[in-house]
Amino acid sequence: MTPTQIGLDFLVADEPVVQLGDTVAIDTSFPEESANALAHIESFNKHLFRPNTYLHKRWARRSGTTFWHILKQLVPDPARRDYYFPGGLEGVTVLDPMMGVGTILHEAIRPGAYVIGFDIDPIPVLQAKASLSDVPLSEKEKVFRAFRSELVKRMLKYYVTACPECGGAAEIQFTLYGQRKLGPDCEVLVADSLALREEPDGTEKNIRTTYPSLEFSIDGRSWPIVEKDEANKNGVNRKPSDILSNTFAERYVPLVIAGHCETHKGFLKKIDPADNMNISAAARWVKRNAHFTDADFQIPDGPKSGDLLNRETQTFL
């Protein structure tokens, strides 16, 4: 079973590992319990340790451990099918004609297989190419630095706020938003939690520090701020009718900025008028530079998109 080079820069085995009519392990049994347990851990870790710069996660991306389990069942030698036993598919070619973002290919390379993948959708193909190509680190760093400096030049100004201690320019690390929801009496802003940060000494920074009466006002309108659990208990779960056709971002109102001043270090501050002007300027920049109109993103009624329409989401934006 020596691999042979044929045309197009890929390799195939002289003879297929599995002959037509053969039964492979996966046809007769599958280690469901261990596959399920490991996929569970993998999904949990993926959420916890998500890197802050990452090519957009493909929606259909499945758990790699599940595919590793499947591939291990194709190992000809039963003694090498164990999940933790390395290798087993050396010299074999794995073809995935509908590869999506290439999870199968990523997993098949590790036990030694050659891989070929296709997909009709160009976006996952781009992602699979990017993640499967062996690009030298120095090359990646060069591209990243160029991208970052361009990003800083164009976007950094939207991430600056005034330090509440000295009034100097400070960096915005993130902004906490409240979601507009309709309660029995009025519209409210729902925050996941009123607790903003727990300090190492056990004390808590709370939204009440910035909004003592738990009320947010802007341009003559005001909303009570309600914690999510409290909102759920009191039947606050409907979306205000005027935002049904708006983009998801417009359902949120910025409340608190977490920032960092060179002199005064980390702080949490109430959104002030200058911050709101900054957010509006960023929104205008997006509108000016976007090569699409809202109409391009209207959700059509279909077997899957119907779910979104039923949840009162009318635009992909």
> Binding residues for Zn ion, per CB under 5 A?
163, 165-166, 261, 263-264
If the CB atoms of residues 132 and 162 are measured against Zn ion, the closer one turns out to be 162
If the CB atoms of residues 92 and 257 are measured against Zn ion, the closer one turns out to be 257
Question: b vs e for 244-274, b when ≥16 Cβ sit within 10 Å of the residue's Cβ?
Answer: eebeeeebbbbbbbbbebeeeeebbbebeee
Q: What is the nearest approach in angstroms of Zn ion to the Cβ of residue 199?
A: 19
Q: What is the nearest approach in angstroms of Zn ion to the Cβ of residue 175?
A: 18
If the CB atoms of residues 115 and 163 are measured against Zn ion, the closer one turns out to be 163
If the CB atoms of residues 113 and 256 are measured against Zn ion, the closer one turns out to be 256
Q: What are the CB-based long-range contacts (under 8 Å, 24+) for 14-22? A: 17/74, 17/76, 17/89, 17/92, 18/74
If the CB atoms of residues 190 and 261 are measured against Zn ion, the closer one turns out to be 261
Q: What is the nearest approach in angstroms of Zn ion to the Cβ of residue 167?
A: 7
Judge whether 166 and 160 are in contact, CB under 8 Å. no
Q: What is the nearest approach in angstroms of Zn ion to the Cβ of residue 261?
A: 3
Give me the DSSP letters along 79-140.
GG-STTS----TT-EEEETT-TTTHHHHHHHTTT-EEEE--S-HHHHHHHHHHHS---HHHH
Q: What is the nearest approach in angstroms of Zn ion to the Cβ of residue 277?
A: 20
